[in-house]
Amino acid sequence: MAETASAIADPDDVLIVAGRRYGSRLLVGTGKYRDLTQTGEAIAAAGAEIVTVAIRRTNIGQDPDEPNLLDVVDPARFTILPNTAGCFTAEDAVRTCRLARELLDGHNLVKLEVLGDPKTLYPDMPATLAAAETLVADGFEVMVYCNDDPIAARRLEEIGCVAVMPLAAPIGSGLGIQNKYNILSIVENAGVPVLVDAGVGTASDAAVAMELGCDGVLMNTAIAEAKNPVLMASAMRHAVIAGRQAYLAGRMPRRRHASASSPLTDLPF
Amino acid sequence: MAETASAIADPDDVLIVAGRRYGSRLLVGTGKYRDLTQTGEAIAAAGAEIVTVAIRRTNIGQDPDEPNLLDVVDPARFTILPNTAGCFTAEDAVRTCRLARELLDGHNLVKLEVLGDPKTLYPDMPATLAAAETLVADGFEVMVYCNDDPIAARRLEEIGCVAVMPLAAPIGSGLGIQNKYNILSIVENAGVPVLVDAGVGTASDAAVAMELGCDGVLMNTAIAEAKNPVLMASAMRHAVIAGRQAYLAGRMPRRRHASASSPLTDLPF
Amino acid sequence: MAETASAIADPDDVLIVAGRRYGSRLLVGTGKYRDLTQTGEAIAAAGAEIVTVAIRRTNIGQDPDEPNLLDVVDPARFTILPNTAGCFTAEDAVRTCRLARELLDGHNLVKLEVLGDPKTLYPDMPATLAAAETLVADGFEVMVYCNDDPIAARRLEEIGCVAVMPLAAPIGSGLGIQNKYNILSIVENAGVPVLVDAGVGTASDAAVAMELGCDGVLMNTAIAEAKNPVLMASAMRHAVIAGRQAYLAGRMPRRRHASASSPLTDLPF
Amino acid sequence: MAETASAIADPDDVLIVAGRRYGSRLLVGTGKYRDLTQTGEAIAAAGAEIVTVAIRRTNIGQDPDEPNLLDVVDPARFTILPNTAGCFTAEDAVRTCRLARELLDGHNLVKLEVLGDPKTLYPDMPATLAAAETLVADGFEVMVYCNDDPIAARRLEEIGCVAVMPLAAPIGSGLGIQNKYNILSIVENAGVPVLVDAGVGTASDAAVAMELGCDGVLMNTAIAEAKNPVLMASAMRHAVIAGRQAYLAGRMPRRRHASASSPLTDLPF
Amino acid sequence: MNIRLNGETRQFDGVQTLAELVAELGLDGRRLAIEHNGEIVPRGERESRRLADGDRVEIVHAIGGGTP
Amino acid sequence: MNIRLNGETRQFDGVQTLAELVAELGLDGRRLAIEHNGEIVPRGERESRRLADGDRVEIVHAIGGGTP
Amino acid sequence: MNIRLNGETRQFDGVQTLAELVAELGLDGRRLAIEHNGEIVPRGERESRRLADGDRVEIVHAIGGGTP
Amino acid sequence: MNIRLNGETRQFDGVQTLAELVAELGLDGRRLAIEHNGEIVPRGERESRRLADGDRVEIVHAIGGGTP
């Protein structure tokens, strides 16, 4: 099977973000898992190479032997993608990115999120644009969570973001791609990778995102809140490959009417 | 990766049809390919173990050295599933099955199709039920193409069919699963494998079928009419695995509203 | 407004069932209402002219002054459509129709339903076909509840049914039209009226059914279980008219991309 | 029928925009019609009270007797809603509004549109926000075409817009409501009327918009490009009423499984 | 005389015809259909249709009901 | 005198005010709005608004148009 | 001798059994199934199955085909 | 000396530099980033960065978190 797959799949079909090449197009988060062991197993099953982490205050007085996320997600093996989850202003997001850069020894790749509403976790786009400008000017490589507005996505690219990451549905909703036309418009106009961020609920949702031509998918809840997160991580790995290959293979046309795949002639009657 | 996958996937999660065990849940047809070489490559890329073939009059006077389908799809390696495609009466379908049994040295497994209309290739269910009764009485193991009527599926199982194969959408239409509730009802009530037959257009469609709990998917046009059939066959292999694993893993609940996967507390501001 | 409407709508666009002409294409049931008063108000708000009723054992010993459904739904004003709801065999359905004919003084129009399963209330199609043949031979005008199988619908018409009534979704589910392609195929091939029976949940569902070219819609639960049944009945009246007019008016083509409805030239800049 | 309707519908359920009350919740455009006669007939059939018009350079040298749009759409009978269609900058949009105000004798109600892309006619939201601020400060009552971003809608309301008008799908696409969750979020958070602007293709689309709780729908292409625009205008009138009444009536819950509307007891067998 | 009426056995004395049974039940004038021993009895034949001990009688009417 | 009228340069002789220009164009009585050198000129000021060589004038009206 | 072979009438001389017909058609060694006058003839009986003028013979094999 | 540490005021005696504070907290060797009075302090400057009464210090690290 491995031989077959390598013979079929183009080894040059890689995801390139900020000049780095990734064989996997599935990016994963690290929240909501039972423990760090499960986090690590899910990341492995997902085959992810880019892993997003949050930046939070150290819990003073905690057990100093408590395991650390970056022990499980080793920055030497994975591309760590610090995010600004929880930031509701451009200032907070910029500050979080700078803390992350210090934390990760000058690592410049960040996932910018500026939220507009604690209930929907929908992005605040004007603040996101402002933060993106500041961060790009400050030398960051910005992957940016955004709404699915094609004009906004183009603007974020113009600002210099290295990837645009539109939401497919509300974060953590699991509702799947709501507006395929918008995602398609963003993909068609983009010169940087487009990754669906948020809203995927199950494997077919991830496949749909890739079939639309997205360059990758980032997810967390769909894996972590499955009954069996590690098996779902594997499902998502296959789904992203499936969707990517289907996109590259070029699907059959949709037809209103049937088309026999067996010839309707030369029947023995 | 191979190690990871084998550690995650349950090796006992196999498709059992008529007492035989199959690691692959993707069944493929052999029509509409450019040539037999492409047919063989697509079957390999799909990882299929059950392959359906049509029975037709031998073209008298043809080049006797012309390659034969069963050279490419070796009955020693694959389970050959002769189908009754093109039959519009129960009698023709039964006769075709008997010819197939002779052709394949007593092989009893057949795919019964009795069509009701040349335009939609929709099944004629009363004729299908009649043919199924005759074939089961004659010792055949009948996998049966049918509409997505849960009552009809249950009746076909009562008759003794070894698998029910409802259409998801018109054959060759590529429109994807139309009535998920009916497929779900069939799955919930079935004691034999349920395989979606016909209507899949791209990888996510196959994943959806599996996420509904189907035991497998049979397809032909979606692979053969892709721009790159062999790559699409690989996509479908991944999609069926993805959908199966997602079904087994148990998807997250759908929610109207967002749910943060990063904690919203302990922010440094 | 009344003048405008009458000027626009074609007065000859009527529903013809069994030779009788109806201005309204919305048929309603009489179950699940709070009381007979609400039943009557909902029927009036729906503008229905054909009203379906069930046949049940008279409750012996009840108050003889208890109001009677046929006082509210006067057979002199409405076409009463007795149904065979609750019948799970062809025999029971035929017997119920004959009782209904006696009850209604020789009235021949019936709604045949033979159910296959108490949980889904999905029709038992072989039994339905058998009952339809018996009833047609016995002089009944049969409107028939059926699955959305285009071949079955054609067969029911061949038997002599005066209308085919495919379900859109499980009875009482309110899930809306599941398989639009099947409904469309039935409509395209039918020589008798096609009415969607069961599955409508809200006004837009009814409009969709009519836009597909159906001749009418029958519903009960969607009205009776609305918070305000009488207002929902009015909504459904408008929805059926809206869908019918949209079907006749011929909708605009769907387009992937925008099309300005204001000219993009002669701007003052 | 008229009596029935007036008895059911609440006469106080009116659309209030900028302090004015409207019985109709269907707003229409005036582009793409065959001629002004058809324009007028369609507006009448739609029952519209608010009619949007574009502002363009007068064609110098044309026949001075050529009929004028405002003869057909008399500002004494209709609320004229001049729009800034075709404007790609905030400045152009503001200038167009000011010309419109002069043209209409100080009329302050405008429909603001600042487009971001000539192909999709998707709004440029930062420019829209800027123009809205300028116009509100200049005394205009601004109804604003916007994307379906709930945070942006809230911001436009904070700025002082009198109505937010999110697009349902690309202008002139006829694809229907793409992201129902976003429209629902906008509706739930809004203190001003929410009207779906753009994307409606047929009657059921308009009904869906209203069932989500929108206060109205504005459309042009769906009517003007129907084969019979005047009949489609009537269809849309009914669809908007149907959707509104269904929203107010409170739809039945969706259920996976069937629910009989005829009692399943007291059968005579 | 025992009659199996709508599935329940009941005793009726002094009732000899279907018409008398209907009257005894207080159902005169109501819109009903009646089966007697599995056979539908037209309205006009109720008076002449005699009952015997052990007969089965079904009396039905229309009630609210909708899609299946 | 040359006027840049709705984007095209045209010559008008004997026209001194906006009101005269409107009349010359045969647009009297039509519902119009006018910009003169980028500034909107209210209806009541057309008679007093004098034109000079090279001025820019935009004359607009309402036409059919809908969603964006 | 005329044989109705796969729907077409053809003449075969010197052919007396199904096995000889298969050989004559150059189909020896191919995976086939054969009907003779509507009855399936097992492989082992081809040699003994004699043909007569006007007989109907169908020869089929497996070809590419998929969902219905 | 009172320090506003991660939003809470705490008293530290005998601590004069950021490096000493980290050690006092038992956080030596952990992967952290530190803000001092709103300014990020690179790792190499912790030893030389002196604390004063009332200073604000934020200490952060990476934790599990995903899409927004």
Distance CA D258, CA E6 (A): 28
B56 closest CB neighbour out of A207, A237, A267: A267
Catalogue the long-range contacts made by A12-19 (C-beta closer than 8 Å, 24 or more residues apart): A13/A244, A13/A248, A15/A193, A15/A215, A15/A216, A16/A193, A17/A50, A17/A109, A17/A141, A17/A143, A17/A162, A17/A163, A17/A193, A18/A108, A18/A109, A18/A141, A18/A162, A18/A163
Residue D57 forms beta bridges with which residues?
F60
Average of pLDDT values for B121-147? 97
Distance CA A231, CA B250 (A): 9
- Closest residue by Cα to residue H34 from A102, A54, A107, A67: A102
Is B69 close to G43, i.e. CB distance below 8 A?
A: no
Residue in G15, G18, G22, G67 to test binding to B, most B beta-carbons within 10 Å: G67
Q: For chain E, how many helices (H) and strands (E)? A: 1, 5
Is F33 close to D99, i.e. CB distance below 8 A?
A: yes
Give the pLDDT band (50/70/90) at residue A10.
confident
Looking at residue D66, its pLDDT comes to: 73
Looking at residue B198, its pLDDT comes to: 80
ipTM value, please give it: 0.94
Q: Note whether D touches A: 3 CB pairs or more under 8 A.
A: yes
Residue D164, token pair as written in the block:
């937010």
Distance CA C104, CA C169 (A): 31
Amino acid of residue D174: G
Q: How many CA atoms lie within 13 A of B108 on its CB side?
A: 14
Chains in contact with G, where contact requires at least 3 CB pairs less than 8 Å apart: A, B
Is B82 close to G62, i.e. CB distance below 8 A?
A: yes
B102 closest CB neighbour out of G26, G42, G67: G42
Q: pLDDT tens across A56-111, in order? A: 988 887 666 678 899 899 999 999 999 999 999 999 999 999 999 999 999 999 99
SS3 state at B247? helix
Looking at residue C1, its pLDDT comes to: 38
Is A54 close to H34, i.e. CB distance below 8 A?
A: no
Q: DSSP code of D132? A: H
Distance CA B196, CA B164 (A): 8
B262: which chain A residues are within 8 Å (Cβ-Cβ)? 29, 31, 54, 83, 85-86
SS3 state at F36? strand
Is G66 close to A263, i.e. CB distance below 8 A?
A: no
Model-level pTM?
A: 0.94
| D226 close to C252: Cβ distance less than 8 angstroms | yes
Low-confidence ranges of chain D (pLDDT < 70): 1-7, 62-65, 258-259, 263-265, 267-269
Looking at residue B265, its pLDDT comes to: 66
Distance CA A39, CA D259 (A): 43
Is C29 close to D252, i.e. CB distance below 8 A?
A: no
The mean predicted confidence, pLDDT, of chain A is 92
Q: Does A47 touch chain B (CB under 8 A)?
A: yes
Question: Vertex F17, ends F14 and F20: CA angle to 5°?
Answer: 65
Q: pLDDT tens across F17-38, in order? A: 999 999 999 999 899 999 999 9
Distance CA F15, CA F28 (A): 14
Q: Does B36 touch chain A (CB under 8 A)?
A: no
Q: pLDDT tens across A214-251, in order? A: 999 999 999 999 999 999 999 999 999 999 999 999 99
Residues of B assigned a catalytic role = 111
> Does residue G49 carry a pLDDT above 50?
yes
**Cα torsion B207, B213, B217, B221: sign:** negative
Q: Does A188 touch chain H (CB under 8 A)?
A: no
Is D86 close to C262, i.e. CB distance below 8 A?
A: yes
Looking at residue D172, its pLDDT comes to: 82
Cβ neighbours for C154, distance < 8 A, ≥ 6 positions apart: B117, C189, C190
Q: Does B55 touch chain A (CB under 8 A)?
A: yes
Q: For chain H, how many helices (H) and strands (E)? A: 1, 5
Burial D169-187 (b: 16+ CB within 10 A, else e): bbbbbbbbbbbbbbbbbbb
B122 closest CB neighbour out of C126, C149, C170: C149
| A233 close to A45: Cβ distance less than 8 angstroms | yes
Share of chain B above pLDDT 70, in %: 93
- Residue D155 distance to chain A (closest CA, Å): 10
Q: pLDDT tens across B6-42, in order? A: 457 788 899 999 999 999 999 999 999 999 999 999 9
> Does residue B83 carry a pLDDT above 60?
yes
Q: pLDDT tens across B227-263, in order? A: 999 999 999 999 999 999 999 999 999 988 766 677 6
Looking at residue A3, its pLDDT comes to: 42
Question: Vertex A188, ends A184 and A190: CA angle to 5°?
Answer: 115
Looking at residue A61, its pLDDT comes to: 72
Chains in contact with E, where contact requires at least 3 CB pairs less than 8 Å apart: C, D
Is B58 close to G35, i.e. CB distance below 8 A?
A: no
- Residue B10 distance to chain A (closest CA, Å): 10
* Closest residue on chain A to B239 (Cα): A242
Q: DSSP code of G43? A: G
Looking at residue B258, its pLDDT comes to: 66
Low-confidence ranges of chain C (pLDDT < 50): 1-6
Give the pLDDT band (50/70/90) at residue A151.
very high
Q: DSSP code of F65? A: -
D126 closest CB neighbour out of A122, A126, A147: A126
Q: Does B62 touch chain G (CB under 8 A)?
A: no
Quote the radius of gyration of chain G (alpha carbons, Å).
Answer: 12
Residue D52 forms beta bridges with which residues?
D81
Distance CA C23, CA C16 (A): 9
Phi and psi at A263, nearest 5°, equal -60, 145
> Does residue A1 carry a pLDDT above 50?
no
Q: pLDDT tens across E14-35, in order? A: 999 999 999 999 999 899 999 9
Q: pLDDT tens across B200-211, in order? A: 999 999 999 999
H64 closest CB neighbour out of A53, A98, A113: A53
Residues of A assigned a catalytic role = 111
DSSP string across chain C: -HHHHHHHS-TT--EEETTEEES--EEE---S-SSHHHHHHHHHHHT-SEEEEEEEE--TTS-TTS--HHHHS-TTTSEEEEE-TT--SHHHHHHHHHHHHHHTTT--EEEE--BS-TTT--B-HHHHHHHHHHHHHTT-EEEEEE-S-HHHHHHHHHHT-SEEEE-SSSTT-----S-HHHHHHHHHH-SS-BEEES---SHHHHHHHHHTT-SEEEESHHHHTSSSHHHHHHHHHHHHHHHHHHHHH-PPPP-SS---SS-SS----
B260: which chain H residues are within 8 Å (Cβ-Cβ)? 68
Looking at residue B85, its pLDDT comes to: 92
F64: which chain D residues are within 8 Å (Cβ-Cβ)? 29-33, 36, 39, 53-54, 69
A178: which chain D residues are within 8 Å (Cβ-Cβ)? 178-182
Residue in C257, C259, C261 to test binding to F, most F beta-carbons within 10 Å: C261
Please report where in the chains the tokens 């695995």 appear, as a residue.
Answer: B241
Looking at residue D198, its pLDDT comes to: 80
F66: which chain C residues are within 8 Å (Cβ-Cβ)? 261-262
SS3 state at A109? strand
Going from the C-alpha of B61 to that of each of A193, B103, C51, C175, G10, the distances in angstroms are: 56, 20, 67, 57, 12
H64: which chain B residues are within 8 Å (Cβ-Cβ)? 262
Q: pLDDT tens across D206-239, in order? A: 999 999 999 999 999 999 999 999 999 999 999 9
Give the pLDDT band (50/70/90) at residue F3.
very high
| B222 close to B190: Cβ distance less than 8 angstroms | no
Q: Note whether F touches B: 3 CB pairs or more under 8 A.
A: no
Looking at residue C62, its pLDDT comes to: 64
SS3 state at B75? coil
* Closest residue on chain B to A209 (Cα): B204
Looking at residue C3, its pLDDT comes to: 42
Give the pLDDT band (50/70/90) at residue A30.
very high
Q: pLDDT tens across A99-147, in order? A: 999 999 999 999 999 999 998 899 999 999 999 999 999 999 999 999 9
Average of pLDDT values for A4-20? 81
The residues in D 146-175 lying below 8 A from A, measured between CB atoms, are: 147-152, 154-155, 169-170, 173, 175
Looking at residue A59, its pLDDT comes to: 81
G35: which chain A residues are within 8 Å (Cβ-Cβ)? 268
B262 closest CB neighbour out of H35, H58, H66: H66
Is A123 close to H26, i.e. CB distance below 8 A?
A: no
Q: Does B267 touch chain H (CB under 8 A)?
A: no
Looking at residue A2, its pLDDT comes to: 39
Phi and psi at D198, nearest 5°, equal 90, 135
